[in-house]
Structures are given as structure tokens and as C-alpha cells.
Chain A
Amino acid sequence: MTRHMLGLHGVTAESLGMIMERAWRIRQNRRQYREKLKGKLIAALFFEPSTRTKLSFELAAHWLGAEFIHFPLETSSRVKGESLLDTILTVTAMGVDALIIRHSNSGVLEWLKEKVDVPLINAGDGAHEHPTQALLDLHTMYHYFDSLKDIEVVMVGDIQHSRVVRSSIWALKTLGARITLVGPPSLLPREFEQFGISISWRLDEVLPKADIVYLLRIQQERQQKGLLPSLADYTRQFGLTAGRLSLLKPGVLVMHPGPVNVGVEITAEALQLLRSWPRERAQVCIEHQVASGVVVRAALLDYLLGEESHEITA
């Protein structure tokens, strides 16, 4: 049976815990893992542009001694009219040990897993899941909280189109956190309540309870598609502005998957103020998230491809 990381829906607390634990061990003693994946070839097929995620995976592979190749597919194969499956089969036929895939079509890996016999790692599929982002966020959260049980996580932004939110919901719920999603109704359908979480269309009402405020990136195109009146309107209602900082609970964690649109999700003034505050008052951990990305992805690669590899139990 092939081991994949397609998403966090249904993944058990035990599996999440093992990945977290391995990430800690790698973080503490990177050298010990230097040759863990020596001789393995990991290919990244990105059908959507990405710099951060690709770089993070590349570095993670590097840490474990694996070879890493990257196919910038957002241009070449499409032009040639080659089908997705042809591309994937070509690459696997060349002999790779794992495929990291990013694609704009939700669920594309669920379809591909029936066609290939190498581990697939989801680096983001449409609006479905982005499991490694959620895992690195967990890793970051555990740096500040011993347990996520009953921790109040408020996620703000374009919930509807966010794959980060979907992965995070499942993992956080499994680990006992309480989630509130916030955004304008055009980007946050009421039906999200059916996932057993809270929703709110008013940021000011939920900010005071948050242990973690997780800001999501707002894409410029949402405005063009008529989902928002303007980015300024979004910021007025849902941006973390200097005026809203007084609503925050002491010791709150402010997170963002990056890259931040300063002035939209959070204003420059608020960001500056937050960074100047002492730890007991608030902490911005955006850079910490980036650093966690490499550690967690290394842990995941080792977990799926290393000697003591595991199935992700769902």
C-alpha cells in the first residue's frame, strides 16, 4: 500500500502527534537526520506558481539528504497540450520516490492516487486542502501552547476559497481546539457550521475570545469577481487594524500563512505595534511559521519515506 499525504480530513490525533513529535526531534537534532533519505529522489510538480512552498520542500529534502527536482509546470506542459496524467506518468517512469503536487483543481490527487504507485504529497489542491501548511501551523502553535485542547482559534478571511482553512479545521478539531471562522458572507457560507465549528460575520465580536488569530490572504481577484466591494471595505470590517488591537486578549498569537498583504489583512501600523509589544501581550509568529515549514515538511518526508515509515491513518 502506498503512503500518501493528501489531506488532514479524517487523519487521527495519533498520526498528527507522530508527525509533530518527529518534527520536534528534527528541530532539536537536525544532523542526526542528514542521511535519512539519502538516495531518494523527490519530485515537485507545481501546476500553480509557488515560491515559498516549493523552497520549503526543497530545503526539507535537502536536510534529509534526498535529491530534489522541480518541474515548473505552470507553463511548459500546458503549452504542449500534454495531459496531467501523461506528465505524472512520465515523471514517475523516470523513477522518483515521491511526488509533491500543487494543482488548481480540488481533488486532483484523489484521482491520481489510483493511477500511480509512489507516495503523493499534496502541496495544495484548489480550494480543497493544503495539509503541510496546516501541519506547520500546528507545529508553530505547539511552540506556544502545550495542548490545543479548548484553545480558541479565530480564522479570518476568504474562507470559501481557502484550502488552508479546510486542512486546519480538520486538524484543529481533531486536537480539541475550538474554531471560529470569520469573513464576509460572500466568502464565508453559513453551511460551514455543518462542520461543527462556529462562524461569524463580525470580527469585533469574536476577537476578544481568541487565543490565536489566524489571518488569511485576500486575493485581489475576489474584488474583481464581485465578492467584495473593495479591499478597503474588507480591511474596515475584517482587517486587523490598530483600532482593533485593544480587543485582543493578552498573550494572543497572530498568524498568517503568508505572503501578507500589508494594509489589507493587517495594517502596517497594527503590525508594527504588535511587533513592538512584549510577549505577554501579543506575538506575531509569521516568520516562525515559515521556519516551521521546513521542519514539518522534513518530518513528513521522513514519516512517509524513511526507514520507519508509516501510513497516515485516517
Chain B
Amino acid sequence: MKLLLKGATVVDPSQDLEEQADLLIEDGVVAGIGRGIRADYARELDLSGKYLVPGFVDMHVHLREPGFEGKETIATGTAAAVAGGITSLACMPNTAPPVDNPLVVGYIQQKAREAGLARVYPVGALTRNRQGEFMADYSALYAAGVRAFSDDGDPVDNSYLLYQIFKYLLAFEDTLIISHCEDRRLAANGLVHEGYWSNLLGLPGIPPAAETVAVAREILLAQATGKRLHLAHISTAGAVEWIRWAKEKGLPVTAEVTPHHLLLTDAAVKGYNTAAKVNPPLRSEEDRQALLQGLREGIIDVIATDHAPHKIDEKDLDYFEAPFGVIGLETAVPMLLTELVHRGELSLRELVQAYSCRSARILGVPGGTLKPGAPADIAVLDLEAEGVIEPRRFYSKARNTPFAGRKVRGLPVLTLLGGEIKMEEGAVKVGKQE
């Protein structure tokens, strides 16, 4: 089975490529890139005017299954992913039961295979039952294929235990610790960024220090132990400075930022808008600028959505009662293209680097490249296609996006996984399996 993608501008930072070229796929892998490729018996797709990039790799996704299938399932979540041009994702362990044993890992892998849409890499719990008290069963999780560990939304408060975990995981050399950086005492059950809007709305604030204090602790533990650390969804200017320090020291630290923290500020909570209720909270314009600058400089390595689906009725509560979280799989690429790439804030190449190449490399998974021999995980973008973010048309079960109604220019129009078309013109090939 051969597929020839003709005439697109191929943007692949992994091989310093940005030019119009044809790409030949054979047996699910990239067989060649170049001008005027000819292949016998190949199906051809004319992609002139479009951009062809390695499929996006989202290293922070909540698929909710098992346990919270009302919010999202592996099938709907991966459908949302490929609709958004994302071909690989890492899913967080706060399921029920949590991903603290190989059975749940196997369950998720199996469901992902059945859905057959995107590559899914379960992140294992850092502690048993994600309770921050005892180490999780690392060797069993590792044997099941887990290469990243995190308690995500429930960070390990106990610095002694965390220090021991950092050390223990040194023996599993190709693993990564992902930290959700929050000093929960400092966050003090806050609901929004501490600042103008928390004061205006009378909502308890989350000070930036709740993040920076935790970022500093994690970085210092990485320094003390040498264990590889990835900082999830950074939201503050202060955290960027700590990460800059860590990188200058050459510490094994990477960091991510979400599209919503790059594109929105705390002003989005105006009117007690629960669609903008997220943890870490949307911060000030100053923070947002620092995140963007950090991303451009490579201080922040990757973009990840922290896709956090909730049921409609769960978000339709008052601001205190509604859960934290926004979805992002189907909005990330269009919003980033519209607000950053088209405005010249970030080049397409930088976007691909941050949302594909580096994410794959940090996770240590296939993808993030179109070098010959690599799996043909591909996103094709039409930078001029216009549309509107319409939650009712999402493949995700959830609708909790702060971008509803936003006009966008730039859409993923074709997604391939291992050379197979999984999305075409916005329509996901659901149920099609090998």
C-alpha cells in the first residue's frame, strides 16, 4: 500500500526541512521526501497550497477512561485528537481506578488499539492510588510500557517522599517524572489568579507563588538527584525564570505550556465564566507574555493542552462548584495558528517543534519526525481555511472550552496515523480499523 502526498509545503524541524515537496508513504512509514517523486501503483493526494507536518504530539491529556466515561472515553478523546491533527498523546493517570497498576495500563492500551485512531501512552501514577504516601509499583508499570510518571493534579506534598522517588526512578533511566507544580497550602483552595479579577469578583485567589515555590522545589530535587523532570502546564513568569536557571545549569528539566495559558488571561473569568475555570489559573498579561517569550526562546520546550473534559452539567454550576479544567484537543491547532502563527508571534516551524518534535523526544516515543523510516504520522494544515470554534461539533464528549465562538483561520484538514487516513476535511474515520 503506497500513498503519495503531493505538492504540500513540508515543515519538519527534525530534519531542518521547510520546502515544497512530495512525501511517499509505504507500509505505514515515510519512504521518501523530495520533489517530483514518482511511485507506481500509489494513491495520490494533491495537497498543493497546504502544509504537511509531523502529527502533533500532546503530552498532557485526560482521557477519563476508565472511571469517568461520562466526561470522555478513549474512543471519543482520540477522535478529538485526530480531528485536531494530533496523532500521539500521553494520558494522565487520574482515572478510577488510577493508573497505578499494569492492569489499568493494559486496559487503556487495549481501548486505544480498538479505537485505532491515535497512539496513546498512559502516564503512570507516581504514588500508590495517587495519594502521595507510598511509591507506586514502578517496575510493574514499566514492564507494562509506562515511561512517564505523574500524580498530576494531586502533587506529592511530602518533599522527603518525592526526593526518594526521584532517586528511586534513576534506575529506570528512560523514564520521566512529570510534575504538576502547586504548593497546595499556598494555593489555599483559591479559584482564580490572585489579582485584579479575584479582587473584583470576590473570588479566593491563587498566588503565582503557589506555582513558583513548587517549581523551585522540583527543580532543586532534579538537581539533587539528576533525575529527568518535566514541568507540566507552567503558568507564571516566575516559573519561566526558574526554568531558565535550571537550563543554564544544564539540569535535565523540560517544561510545557498550554494553549489557554498562551492565549488567555484572567480577564476570561469575567462574569464568573466557568469555561475559563482551570488549574493552574489563567494568569496576568505579564505572565502570558513571559510564557510566550519563554516558548520562543526554548526555555519552555513544549505545548500541551491539558485537555480536561467535563460533563456539561458539571460545568454549568456556580463558579465555586464547577470543576477545574478546559478541553483543548480540537481547538489547540486552530487557535494557535490563528492567534500566534498568523500574527507572527510564533512561526509554524516553532509550533511544530514545540507541539510535535520536542514532545515526542521528551516522551521517548515515535513521531515528531518525517525522516524516512519514521511512522507516517502526519497532520496536513490549511492555513487559509476559516472557521468558527463550535463546541457542538466536537468529537470530544465535552464542551468546556473558553474559545467557543472564536473565529479561526488555519485548520487541520487531514490526519494520518501510520499512513492511514484518520481524519479528512474535519471528518474522523471512526470505527475504521486495520
Contact of B203 among A107, A111, A189 (CB under 8 A): A107
Q: Are A191 and B195 in contact (CB under 8 A)?
A: yes
Interface segment out of the listed B318-326, B334-342, B400-408 = B318-326
Look across to chain A and name the residue whose beta carbon is closest to the beta carbon of B320.
A105
- Fill in one digit per residue for B197-231: 1 if any A CB lies within 8 Å of its CB, else 0: 00111111000000000000000000000000000
List A residues 261-311 near B (Cβ within 8 Å): none
Chain B interface residue count, Cβ-Cβ cutoff 8 angstroms: 16
Contact of B199 among A105, A107, A125, A192 (CB under 8 A): A192
Look across to chain B and name the residue whose beta carbon is closest to the beta carbon of A160.
B199
Q: Are B318 and A107 in contact (CB under 8 A)?
A: yes
List A residues 157-204 near B (Cβ within 8 Å): 160, 163, 166, 189, 191-192, 194-195
For B201, the chain A residues whose CB sits under 8 A away are 106-107, 128
For B245, the chain A residues whose CB sits under 8 A away are none
List A residues 92-114 near B (Cβ within 8 Å): 105-108, 110-112
Q: How far is the CB of B310 from chain A (nearest CB, A)?
A: 16
Contact of A110 among B199, B272, B317, B321 (CB under 8 A): B272
For B195, the chain A residues whose CB sits under 8 A away are 191
For A192, the chain B residues whose CB sits under 8 A away are 199
Q: Is A84 an interface residue (CB 8 A)?
A: yes
For B271, the chain A residues whose CB sits under 8 A away are 110
For B319, the chain A residues whose CB sits under 8 A away are 105-108, 111
For A163, the chain B residues whose CB sits under 8 A away are 202
List A residues 54-107 near B (Cβ within 8 Å): 84, 105-107
Task: Give the interface size bracket for A toward B.
Answer: 20 to 34
Q: Is A251 an interface residue (CB 8 A)?
A: no
Q: Are A194 and B196 in contact (CB under 8 A)?
A: yes
For B317, the chain A residues whose CB sits under 8 A away are 111
Q: Are A111 and B318 in contact (CB under 8 A)?
A: yes
Q: Is A208 an interface residue (CB 8 A)?
A: no
Look across to chain B and name the residue whose beta carbon is closest to the beta carbon of A129.
B202
| CA A127 to CA B202, docked complex, whole Å | 5
* Most chain A CB atoms below 10 A, which of B194, B202, B318: B202
Q: Is A126 an interface residue (CB 8 A)?
A: yes
| CA A160 to CA B199, docked complex, whole Å | 7
Q: How far is the CB of B205 from chain A (nearest CB, A)?
A: 8
Contact of A108 among B194, B196, B199, B318 (CB under 8 A): B318
| CA A191 to CA B200, docked complex, whole Å | 10
Q: Given A84-B318, A105-B318: A189 and B199 within 8 A (CB)? A: yes
Q: Are A126 and B272 in contact (CB under 8 A)?
A: no
Interface residues of A (CB under 8 A from B): 9, 84, 105-108, 110-112, 125-129, 160, 163, 166, 189, 191-192, 194-195
Interface residues of B (CB under 8 A from A): 194-196, 199-204, 271-272, 317-321
> What are 20 A-B pairs at a CB distance below 8 A?
A9-B200, A84-B321, A105-B318, A105-B319, A105-B320, A105-B321, A106-B201, A106-B203, A107-B202, A108-B318, A110-B271, A111-B319, A125-B202, A126-B203, A127-B202, A189-B194, A189-B199, A191-B195, A191-B199, A194-B199
Additional 18 contacts, C-beta under 8 A, given A108-B318, A194-B196: A105-B319, A106-B201, A106-B319, A107-B202, A107-B272, A107-B318, A108-B319, A110-B271, A110-B272, A111-B272, A111-B319, A128-B201, A128-B202, A160-B199, A166-B202, A191-B196, A191-B199, A195-B200
Q: Which 4 A-B pairs have the closest CB atoms?
A: A127-B202, A128-B202, A107-B272, A106-B202
